[in-house]
Amino acid sequence: MLPHTRWFALGLALTAMSGLVFSSGTTADANSPASDPLAIKTAAVVTAPALYKGPKPSSGKVIYLTFDDGPSKYTPAIVKLLRDYHAHATFFVIGSQIRTREGTLKATASAGNPINNHTWNHPVLPRLTNTGISSQFVRTNRAIRAQGLPQPKCDRPPYGSYTQRSKGVSDRLGMRTIIWSLDTNDWRKPGAAVIARRVNYGARNGTIVLMHDGGGNRSQTVAALRSILRTLGHQGYTFSALPMCF
């Protein structure tokens, strides 16, 4: 599932071999959304480009923390820190993990943190057919809604890898694709101080920060988050969930 860089490189190589090119959005796969019944069961069509930076407020400074790969046993500690510092974040969850963490998911949402879609089991989406991509998103949306939570308005493709074809499936499902502008690489476990320093020195107004609450031991992420919230809070930053993901 993780780490991102190694698996993204592998996915890119395999995808290139199969005739797909991540950066161009072109594909040799003839399977189109129009021929894909599951892919076209949509509530709305989103045509906006993938989002790498969040909106900047007219006054003040805001950072958008995002967490991938939960829910996990580390999620409650992250949610508690957010609450303690009057902060919010956007959570992109893996659908297959919800069944054993239903209470955690609900508590995360009830604390004001929107729950959004990170697929069912974290595949490289451009390697899938349109039906496969749609199934990843639809199953996760259903699992989230089964907990009494709203239909996700945003998705994040695993490893940040997408093509225009794969993104088109999420568009047709009414979701906005969210990437990031600052990657903490916390999955590498470089130490809490390193993770915190990357955000404390690298974040700017409107930055979307990528962190992880699942996918492995996230104790360093939890420790780093405390420093991030304290340090940047003292600099006048606030921490908000992405408004388009509510």
Q: What is the CATH number of the domain that holds 13?
A: 3.20.20.370
Q: Residue 79 half-sphere exposure, CB side, CA atoms within 13 Å?
A: 22
Q: How confident is the model at residue 22 (pLDDT cuts 50, 70, 90)?
A: very low
Q: What is the DSSP string of 15-60?
A: HHHTT-BTTTTB-S----GGG-TGGG--S----PPPBSBPPPPSSS
Asked, for residue 28, whether it belongs to a domain, the answer is no
Distance CA 1, CA 54 (A): 26
Residue type, 45: V
Catalytically active residues, by annotation: 68, 212
Q: How confident is the model at residue 46 (pLDDT cuts 50, 70, 90)?
A: low
Asked, for residue 76, whether it belongs to a domain, the answer is yes
Is the pLDDT at 21 greater than 80? The verdict is no
Query: Which DSSP symbol is given to 207?
Result: B
User: How much is the pLDDT for 45?
Assistant: 63
Q: What is the pTM of this model?
A: 0.84
User: How much is the pLDDT for 75?
Assistant: 99
Asked, for residue 30, whether it belongs to a domain, the answer is no
* 3-state DSSP assignment of residue 195: helix
> For 141-158, what is the mean pLDDT?
99
Asked, for residue 144, whether it belongs to a domain, the answer is yes
User: How much is the pLDDT for 104?
Assistant: 99
Residues 6+ apart with CB under 8 A from 60: 236, 238
Split into its structural domains, the chain has a count of: 1
Query: Which DSSP symbol is given to 206?
Result: T
Asked, for residue 178, whether it belongs to a domain, the answer is yes
- Domain with 117, as residue range(s), is 4-22+51-245
User: How much is the pLDDT for 58?
Assistant: 82
User: How much is the pLDDT for 15?
Assistant: 38
